[in-house]
Amino acid sequence: MNNFKTVFLKLAFLNFIFLAAMSAFRAVFFFYFGRAIDFTNLTFDIFKAFCAGLRYDLAVIADINIPVSLCLIALLFIAKNSVFDKFLTAVKWYYTFVISAAFIFLCVDFGFYSYFQNHINVLVFGFFEDDTSALISTIWENYNVLLIFAGFACFFVLFYFISKTIFKLRFAFFLQKNINGLTVKILIALAITSLNFIAARGGVRAVPLEVDDADVSSNMFLNKTAINGFYTFGAAYDARKKESKDIDLVEKAGYKNNIRQAFADFLNADLGKIPETNPENSLIVSLPESKNIENVKPNVILIVMESFGADLLRWNSSDFDVLGELKKHFDEDIVFYNFLPGSGGTMVSLETIVSNLPQRPVSTVLAQSKYAYKKYPFAASAPYKKKGFETSFIYGGGIGWRNAAAFMANMGFDNVLGAGAMNSEYPRNQWGVYDKNLFDFVYDFLEKGAASERQQFMLVLTTTNHPPYSLPADYEPLPLNVPETLNEKLTDKDLAAKRFAVYQYANAAAGEFITKIKNSKFAKNTIIAITGDHNFWGLFEYPSQDLFNSRKVPFYLYIPQELKPFNINLKPEAFGSHTDIMPTLYELSLSSAQYMSMGKNLLSAKTNIAANCGEFFANGQGALKYNLLNKNAQYFVWSSSSPLELEQTESSDTHKPLIKRALSQTAIADYLLKRGGS
């Protein structure tokens, strides 16, 4: 069995060379694209980027080696020298073609990055959707295509001779003893399989290596240095598979060639008041001059908390304390409870807020679609940027998650910061830093903004209230004696105990952060808003009458006394949703400004409709669940005996405003998204 040892060593040596070559390619990427970047005090981050890159590259090589490993294991048991010789010849050509193709792919990614400043993403599919012949013509005119193909041919020649040379080497020092015995062969086979499997997964963690694991630094370029194009392409391909056909929702909603009517229906306005050429201008709101706002120069912090559902709050008490220190702020300030998130998922709810658009039904995640790479005038940060604010998206996890880094940058945030930008000593779990440490980072960032005398708009996304539901070692839980009425509903009491503790921790951390703000110099000039990305699920099933309760999240507002409007029309029982957050904040914090949004200011709106997932709508009279594609609808009215419980009913005049809202908002959102970007 000396042949097996020889082949194994040659394959290992050859793969080591391939891995080194990929690292060398990363070094070329780093020095070429990073030559104009200041890396002062980032030496360790550079080291982390290359170490993380080694894991990504090793995972790619492991995937390439899967068929080789399987054949090698088979040869271990066949044990025929003639077969080993044929195997080496076949493997030589396999590596020549596959590794050459891999490096050609890296070159394509290099070229893609030079144009888009991002690794290969969903835009690559546009090559086949756009004017392909025109694109090919452009490439032919702007690049020396023949020289590029000649360079690609060199890869084949290079890797052929590398493989040929390695396979001619002899390792006599290692061939003194044969491999005999079925047990030994089985153990070797298991070892080869295990090593290949671990390398392909990127380690021994519970979850395989993913794109967001490249979040190693506050420097976005170093995060891009760590990842390779294979992983970003894989993420783009997965998103592409899940993406629904780009349906014309304007037509589906009944407004084909009549988009002005959609705006009229949405705004409850006469058609004559809707501009003929740019109907979207009807959504523009002009804010008056406010000397008070100009004197205070407010900061705005909007916190989106993971799984911060409102329904669980009805059981809050001193014995079942799920709010922690947030309770006193809920009592002191403004909270809307009849409030719906943009979606049932974190990223889509976040998109609803940052785009100022409601979710479009039967549509893919915006951040992972072709629309993620456009800039929009209705983006949430736009009015703040125009007034000189520094805008920041701060996430407790890895900013590679769901293409957040690129998406948020295109949505106008000056800073896009994840866990990699935070103190490396902060404790964290698989999803990111714990919420308390995230809020410490936000406070420090606010202080830096004060030192620079720039007003701050910060959008903060937390992670702790998410599986695996772990807590920092130093946290001491408050009482969590589950009420009997809640205990009866639970399907898994052990899991519930963990979830309640983490939910409490997250709320307590948010409460402590607000207390810190209120006790500081920022108390008079900092607005704080908090909402949830979606409800708190997974412990019990909601009956049909709880359709609204199963979705709702709270919306909390701290407004400094100096900024409270005189004409406030506060109705905490009012209905609202994520699209209403930014208009409310704009009107509290901006003077002599304009914004475009499909939401309403909750502090002055007379009536409003809450919308969720583009298919559930509610107001003070009833609710509607509507499927745009098949026009299937379910109609509800509020129960007269149980607050906020629904009773299914037949369609009536009560539901006409909800149907009109469902159709018009979908058409407008689709129209704006597809025509309003640049």
Q: Where are the domains of the chain?
A: 2-242, 301-608
At position 351, the amino acid (one-letter code) is E
Residue type, 677: G
pLDDT of residue 235: 82
What's the pLDDT score for residue 545? Answer: 86
CA 595 to chain CA centroid, Å, is 25
User: Which residue type occupies 1?
Assistant: M
Tell me which CATH code domain 301-608 carries. 3.40.720.10
Backbone angles phi, psi at 542, to 5 degrees: -90, 130
pLDDT of residue 532: 98
Half-sphere exposure of 549 (CA within 13 A, CB side): 19
Which tokens in the block code for residue 567?
């004409």
pLDDT tens-place string over residues 150-185 = 877 887 888 888 888 887 777 655 555 566 677 777
- Spell out a b/e string for 355-385, using b for 16 or more CB atoms within 10 Å of the CB, else e: bbbbbbbbbbbbbbbbbbbeebbbbbbbbbe
Residues near 272 by Cβ (< 8 Å), separated by ≥ 6? none
Angstrom distance (rounded) from CA 276 to CA 260: 7
- Tracing tokens 């736009």 back to the chain, one arrives at 382
| CA 535 – CA 533 distance, rounded (Å) | 7
Q: Are 591 and 563 in contact (CB under 8 A)?
A: no
Identity of the amino acid at 5: K
Judged by phi (left if over 0) then psi (alpha if -120 to 50, else beta), residue 180 lies in beta
Do 582 and 370 meet the contact criterion of CB atoms below 8 Å apart? Answer: no
526 sits in which H/E element = strand 526-532
Q: Backbone dihedral region of 596: left (phi > 0), alpha (psi from -120 to 50 degrees) or beta? A: beta
* Distance in angstroms (rounded) separating the CA atoms of residues 215 and 655: 47
Q: Give backbone dihedrals phi and psi of 126, rounded to 5 degrees, phi first.
A: -65, -20
pLDDT at position 535: 93
Could you read off the pLDDT of 44-58 as tens digits, one per residue? 999 999 999 999 999
Residue 579 DSSP code:
G
Residue 209 has what pLDDT? 85
Say how far apart CA 610 and CA 548 lie, in whole Å: 10
Cβ atoms < 10 Å from Cβ of 245: 8
Find the radius of gyration of the CA atoms of the chain. Answer: 29
CA–CA dist 206, 614 (Å, integer) = 34
pLDDT of residue 1: 45
Please, what is the end-to-end C-alpha distance for the chain in angstroms? 64
Enumerate residue ranges in the chain where pLDDT < 70. Answer: 1-3, 36, 79, 81, 115-116, 123, 126-145, 171-180, 239-240, 242-245, 567, 569, 678
Element (H, E) at 11: helix 2-33
